[in-house]
Amino acid sequence: MIKTLAASAALALAATAHAGEVYTGIGTHGVMLGYAQPVAPSVTLRGDVASLGSHSTTKTENSIHYDADLKLSRGGVFADWFFTGGWRLTGGVTFNAIKLDLAGRPTNNQITIGNTTYATQDGDRFDAHVKFPKTTPFLGFGYGHQGGTEGAWGFHFDLGASIGRAKVESAASGPTFDSMDATQRAQLNADVDKETQELRDGVGKIRAIPQLSLGVNYRF
C-alpha cells in the first residue's frame, strides 16, 4: 500500500513538474501568445508569436521629410534555464518581419539628396527601406514559465534582444530622375549613396532589437 501511494505521489509530482502552459502578454513587440513546456526542473522549452501590426508617422531625416511606415511581427523558439527560483536566462532564435519604409516627398518642388538640391515635379520621390534580418539569435533573462501546479495562474517577465544588424536600401524615382542623362545620373547615384550612408549611420547602426514584455500564463 505504501509503495502504491509512493508511486502515485511520484507520478503526480512528475506530471506537475512538467505541466505545460499557455501564456499571453504585451510589450515592445506588441501582443504576444505562446506555449511553454517544462522538460526538467530547471529547463523549459517554449515558442511564441508577437505582433505590433503596422504604424505610420512622419519624420525628418537629413532634411528630407518622410512618411514612415513601421511593420513589426516576430515568432520565436526559446530555451529557459532557471538559476534561482523563477528567475532564468533565455536563449533562442527569433523569426522576424521587421521593416521600416520611408517615403521621401519633395517640399516646395525641391528635394535635397546628399549634397545636391534637385528641382522636382509631380511623381518624384526618394524612398528608403530599413530591414532587420529574418532570422536572429536571441539572448535575455526573465521570470516565469518554470512550471508548477496544474490549473494555476502565474505571470512572466522578459527582457532581452534579437541580435542582428539592420540593412538600409534607398532609391530616387520619378519623371525628373528617370529622364536624366548619364552625367546627371552619375551625380544622382553619388548623392543617393551619400544619403544612404547617412541613413546607415543613423538607423543602420542598430545591431539589436530589444524586447521587454509582461504577461500572464495558465498551467494545465
1 pLDDT more than 90: no
Reported as a single tens digit per residue, the pLDDT across 211-220 is 999 999 999 8
- Across 109-207, the runs of DSSP E, i.e. the strands, are 110-113, 116-119, 125-131, 135-143, 153-163, 167-173
Domains identified in the chain, total number: 1
Max mean pLDDT range (75-89, 120-134, 146-160, 191-205) = 75-89
Q: What pLDDT sits at residue 114? A: 87
Predicted model pTM: 0.78
Question: H helices within the chain, ranges in order?
Answer: 2-17, 175-178, 182-202
Confidence of residue 4 (pLDDT cuts 50, 70, 90): very low
Q: Give the Cα separation of 130 and 100 in Å (integer).
A: 5
Nearest to 46 by CA among 173, 219, 203, 177: 219
- Residue in the block written with cell 511581427: 73
The residue segments making up the domain with residue 133 are 2-219
CATH code where residue 189 lies: 2.40.160
Confidence of residue 14 (pLDDT cuts 50, 70, 90): very low
For the chain, the average pLDDT equals: 87
Per-residue pLDDT at 133 exceeds 90:
yes
How far is the first Cα of the chain from the last one, in angstroms, to the nearest whole number? Answer: 29
Helix, coil or strand: residue 148: coil
C-alpha cell at 184: 546627371
The answer, yes or no, to whether residue 165 has pLDDT greater than 50, is yes
Calculate the alpha carbon distances from 220 to 58, 104, 152 in Å: 46, 51, 8
- Check residue 198 and give its pLDDT: 84
The most confident of 16-30, 115-129, 152-166, by mean pLDDT: 152-166
Give 168-206 pLDDT, tens digit per residue.
999 999 999 999 999 999 999 999 999 888 888 877 678
φ/ψ (deg, to 5) at 81: -120, 120
Query: Is 117 within 8 Å of 110 (Cβ atoms)?
Result: yes
List Cα–Cα distances, 5 to 10, 16, 148, in angstroms.
9, 16, 21
Residue 196 near residue 170 (C-beta atoms within 8 A): yes
Q: Which of 97, 95, 126, 94 is nearest to 110 (CA)?
A: 126
Instruction: Flag the least confident range among 10-24, 74-88, 134-148.
Output: 10-24
